[in-house]
Amino acid sequence: MHTVDRDLVSSRAPSARSRAPTTRGTLLGRYGELALAGATALVMLLAIGMAFFYAPTEAVQGNVQRIEYIHVPIAWTAFLAFFIVFVASALYLWRKDERWDWLARSGAEIGTIFTTLALITGSLWGRPVWGAWWAWDARMTTTLILWFIYVGYLLLRSYTGHSAAGARAAAVLGIVGFVDVPIDYLSVTWWRTLHPALQLPLGQQAQAPASVVVTLMVALAAFTLLFGYLLLLVYRLQRLQSEALRLRARAELDG
Amino acid sequence: MSSTRLFWEQTLAILWKDVRCELRTRQIWLAMGMFALLTLVVFNFAFDLRVDNQTAVAPGALWIAFVFASTLGLGRTMAAEQEQGAMDRLLLCPVDRKAIFAAKLLGNLVFIGAVEVVAVPVFAAIYNVPVVTFAALPILALGTLGIASLGTLFAAITANTRAREVLLPILVFPLLVPVVIGAVKATQGVIDPAGGEPPWLGLIAAFDVIFLSIAAVTFRYVIEE
Amino acid sequence: MSMALSSPLMADVGPSATARPLVVVSQLEKTFEIRPVLRQVSFALPAGETLALLGPNGAGKTTLLRVLATLVRPTAGEVWVAGLEATRDAHEIRRMIGYVGHQPGVYEDLTVRENLRFFARLYGLREGRALADELVERVGLRAKANERVRALSRGQTQRLALARGVMHDPTLLLLDEPDTGLDEEAGALLTALLRERAAAGKTTIFTTHQLARGLSLAGRALVLVGGRVVHDGLTQATSADQVRGLYRRETGRPV
């Protein structure tokens, strides 16, 4: 007869062999994070300065065109965020490491905000150009669909809570949604060619003077850095939330 | 039995089981069909169709009716498994998860197809639109396949959530935009052929291939750990 | 697999074991979301044994069976059935195990025969019709063979569930509280089934709350309390009182 010695069993650290990741340290380390924050602030200030003072006033639209320096980088970042959601989702399904799920969730939350801003700035820009608050411009329409997919992702996560099944479901949505977006863009563009209506005057890069292009690049860099920094912060929030839940559960069990 | 043969044997077994069970209990498919027809009628009042704008608007009404009605019914094939004991009884058998997906997909196609068989002639009649032709068949087939592929996958995703009836359309509609645009445009092309149209049918076909593959592969992550 | 052969667990196996064990569970952990259900569970079961898996409610017995049935993935640790690893070779393992859980696992809207023929097709068994008839006879459901499961009593449904569980002649049969709600006839059937399997050298694991009966039907007993193994030995050397004592000692309350 053989009875397991309970003391021996419980003296081993319970989580030592578990696959749940340890929670030491942030993604970049404290100094890395400060550096990123600093760089973001600097480049953003530079971008704002250039947008208002360095870039020339556009001939046809006037100063309204300057909103392009916000709208384009924000839209770009929104799509970049979705790409990150896609990669993190795929990796989560493959590796089953919940850190990828944290990253996907963070990307989605920030991406939703940026997409909303992209829609708003696009609409604000479009009003004087189109004469209306909305025209079914191909890029804006695709951004609108992206917004719906994002919000759907967040809704799904809220309905499924912190369960692993919910995380897997959301990951599938992240993958499917990302693959869907280029097909959306294609179909909406084809749809629009028949009614070649109002478009946001984005295609001016070819004829644009160098100062416009440079300002745009700097603005892009600024918003990408901002996105990276926000991603870091929200990721840490997700990690802490998971930690807190785990600690509470353990306390309830052992207490 | 070779593994391909077993795969299809299992798929057909599950399909038969689903059809049998559904026919013996709730007949939501009847309600789905009624809903589709009603949508068509209401659209007529809502858009005040006249002969000159019919071609533009009627196909839209048809495909909206299909998408809405499908969304109602898509949850059914998954719900059958969720009651009492979830999918365990299927998952513990040596069944390829892709076979489960294929069976659910085929089941949805059968039922949506049944609705379409009734709705399309009725549509042609009340809108007075020549759409019951061979040219329309590929559009109906490919469009429905697109709706069903993503619909089956997301029915599984939303099956266990609280607001599943409304969450399914919320998730699926934005993703189906290319199919809706393509199907409506292609249907317009059948009714009133105009030159210089982009290859809508090709777009839907590509959509189907891509999302059928993705759905088949990711399905297992949704239904099991 | 050499890991399992040199594992100290081999020393715990009773003197009757000669060959490599059929089931090896090593440091198994399972955490649902934040709640640990199985902690450091380890045991080895030789082929041909009948194991009674005992424990108070919430001890993790059902979860352990579901892990063995490949329905649930371990959070940590390893599970081997017939030399196959549970996460990698789940498909092959499913061919050789049968599982009857709390839910009967049959379709209410199909008849008894239709249910059996359906599962026979899933298992790739030939002559489904003949097999279904044979099983119906064996579990004494001939009179109800063409009735829908919805119309059967709990005992009759359980008999059908047993038939489903053994139809493909599994090497390992897992039964979760197969004796609840059984009428006398079905109870006798279950006993006969267990003895038959033992005589044929097949392996069975079952859980039960009826300690005396369980210990009499099994050759080995594994007691789980709070997700941990507290006893692992031959039933000859284990008494029902002893087991009850273990429940009380570990949980601190009478069962």
Whether the CB-CB separation of B94 and B52 falls below 8 Å is answered with no
Band of residue A9 on the pLDDT scale cut at 50, 70, 90: very low
Distance CA B86, CA B83 (A): 6
Residue A6: inside a domain, yes or no? no
Q: Residue A38 corresponds to which tokens in the numbers above?
A: 């600093």
- Which residue, chain included where needed, has tokens 């909206």? B64
Instruction: For the beta carbon of residue A4, count every other beta carbon within 10 angstroms.
Output: 18
pLDDT value of position B51: 61
Distance CA B26, CA B72 (A): 13
Whether the CB-CB separation of C171 and C189 falls below 8 Å is answered with no
- Which residue, chain included where needed, has tokens 């692993």? A164
Question: What are the sequence ranges of the domains in chain B?
Answer: 3-223
Residues whose CB is less than 8 angstroms from the CB of residue B187 and which lie 6 or more positions away in sequence, other chains included: B59, B62, B63, B131, B136, B139
pLDDT value of position C1: 39
pLDDT value of position B54: 72
Residue A26: inside a domain, yes or no? no
Residue A55: inside a domain, yes or no? yes
Helices and strands of chain C, counted as H and E runs: 9, 10
Neighbours, chain C (3 or more CB pairs < 8 A): A, B
Distance CA B96, CA B3 (A): 10
Across A69-78, A141-150, A195-204, B42-51, least confident range? A195-204
Band of residue A105 on the pLDDT scale cut at 50, 70, 90: very high
Chain A residues whose beta carbon lies within 8 Å of the beta carbon of residue B200: 190
Residue A16: inside a domain, yes or no? no
A172 vs B221: CB contact, 8 Å cut-off?
yes
Chain B residues whose beta carbon lies within 8 Å of the beta carbon of residue A196: none
Type and span of the H or E element at C24? strand C23-32
What digits encode the pLDDT tens for the residues A163-173? 888 999 999 99
Residue C132: inside a domain, yes or no? no
pLDDT value of position A18: 42
Chain C residues whose beta carbon lies within 8 Å of the beta carbon of residue A162: 33-34
pLDDT over 70 at A13, yes or no: no
- Angle (nearest 5°) at CA C87 between C84 and C92: 45
Residue A21: inside a domain, yes or no? no
Among the partner residues B157, B170, B182, nearest to A172 by beta-carbon distance: B157
Alpha-carbon distances, residue B177 vs A136, B173, C12 (angstroms): 14, 7, 62
Band of residue A204 on the pLDDT scale cut at 50, 70, 90: low
Q: What is the four-CA torsion angle of A111, A117, A120, A124, rounded to 10 degrees? A: -140
Q: Residue A42 corresponds to which tokens in the numbers above?
A: 């600097």
pLDDT value of position C16: 44
Closest CA of chain C from A33, distance in Å: 30
Closest by CA position to B94, among listed C170, C126, C90, C22: C90
Can you say whether the dihedral through the CA atoms of A9, A13, A15, A19 is positive or negative? negative
Task: Provide the residue range defining the domain that includes C216.
Answer: 2-9+19-106+173-251
DSSP state of C41: E
pLDDT over 70 at A83, yes or no: yes
A155 vs B167: CB contact, 8 Å cut-off?
yes
- Which residue, chain included where needed, has tokens 């063995």? C68
Residue C191: inside a domain, yes or no? yes
pLDDT value of position C2: 40
User: CATH number of the domain that A139 lies in?
Assistant: 1.20.120
Whether the CB-CB separation of B126 and B36 falls below 8 Å is answered with no
- Chain C touched by B224 (CB under 8 Å): yes
Alpha-carbon distances, residue A36 vs A31, A39, A41 (angstroms): 9, 5, 9
- Angle (nearest 5°) at CA C109 between C108 and C115: 75
- Chain A touched by C228 (CB under 8 Å): yes
What digits encode the pLDDT tens for the residues C203-254? 999 999 888 888 999 999 999 998 899 989 898 888 888 888 888 876 665 5
B157 vs A156: CB contact, 8 Å cut-off?
yes
Q: Residue A54 corresponds to which tokens in the numbers above?
A: 């360095």
Neighbours, chain B (3 or more CB pairs < 8 A): A, C
Q: Specify whether the backbone of A209 is left (phi greater than 0), alpha (psi in -120 to 50) or beta.
A: beta
- Chain C touched by B225 (CB under 8 Å): yes
Residue A189: inside a domain, yes or no? yes
Q: Residue B120 corresponds to which tokens in the numbers above?
A: 């399309």
Among the partner residues C94, C106, C148, nearest to B93 by beta-carbon distance: C94
Band of residue A196 on the pLDDT scale cut at 50, 70, 90: low
Closest CA of chain A from B210, distance in Å: 9
Residue A241: inside a domain, yes or no? yes
Distance CA A146, CA A239 (A): 26
Side-chain-side CA neighbours of residue C226 (13 Å): 14
Residue C148: inside a domain, yes or no? no
- Chain A touched by C126 (CB under 8 Å): no
Distance CA A77, CA A118 (A): 9
Distance CA A102, CA A242 (A): 9
Residue A10: inside a domain, yes or no? no
Band of residue A200 on the pLDDT scale cut at 50, 70, 90: low
Chain B residues whose beta carbon lies within 8 Å of the beta carbon of residue A86: none
- Domains held by chain C: number: 1
pLDDT value of position B133: 78
pLDDT value of position A16: 37
Burial class (CB within 10 angstroms; exposed 0-12, middle 13-18, buried 19+) of C189 = buried
Share of chain C above pLDDT 90, in %: 60
Whether the CB-CB separation of C3 and C15 falls below 8 Å is answered with no
Residue C243: inside a domain, yes or no? yes
CB pairs under 8 A between A and B: 84
What digits encode the pLDDT tens for the residues A28-66? 777 888 888 888 888 888 888 888 887 777 777 777 778
pLDDT value of position B43: 82
User: CATH number of the domain that C199 lies in?
Assistant: 3.40.50.300
- Domains held by chain A: number: 1
pLDDT in tens, chain B (225 residues): 788 999 999 999 999 998 888 888 766 777 788 888 888 888 878 876 666 677 778 888 889 888 988 888 887 667 666 654 568 889 999 999 999 999 999 999 988 888 888 888 888 888 877 777 788 889 999 999 999 999 999 999 988 787 777 899 999 999 999 999 999 999 988 888 877 788 999 999 999 999 999 999 999 999 887
Residue C50: inside a domain, yes or no? yes
- Angle (nearest 5°) at CA A125 between A123 and A129: 105
Q: Return the SS3 of C39.
A: strand
Q: Return the SS3 of B193.
A: coil
Task: Provide the residue range defining the domain that includes A110.
Answer: 33-250
Closest by CA position to C59, among listed C247, C230, C225, C254: C225
Report the 3 state secondary structure along chain A. Answer: CCCCCHHHHHHCCCCCCCCCCCCCCCCCCHHHHHHHHHHHHHHHHHHHHHHHHHCCCECCCEHHHHHHHHHHHHHHHHHHHHHHHHHHHHHHHHHCCHHHHHHHHHHHHHHHHHHHHHHHHHHHHHHHHHCCCCCCCHHHHHHHHHHHHHHHHHHHHHHHCCCHHHHHHHHHHHHHHHHHHHHHHHHHHHHHHCCCCCCCCCHHHHCCCHHHHHHHHHHHHHHHHHHHHHHHHHHHHHHHHHHHHHHHHHHHHHC
- Which residue, chain included where needed, has tokens 């003296």? A11
Residues in chain C, pLDDT under 50? 1-17, 255
pLDDT value of position C3: 41
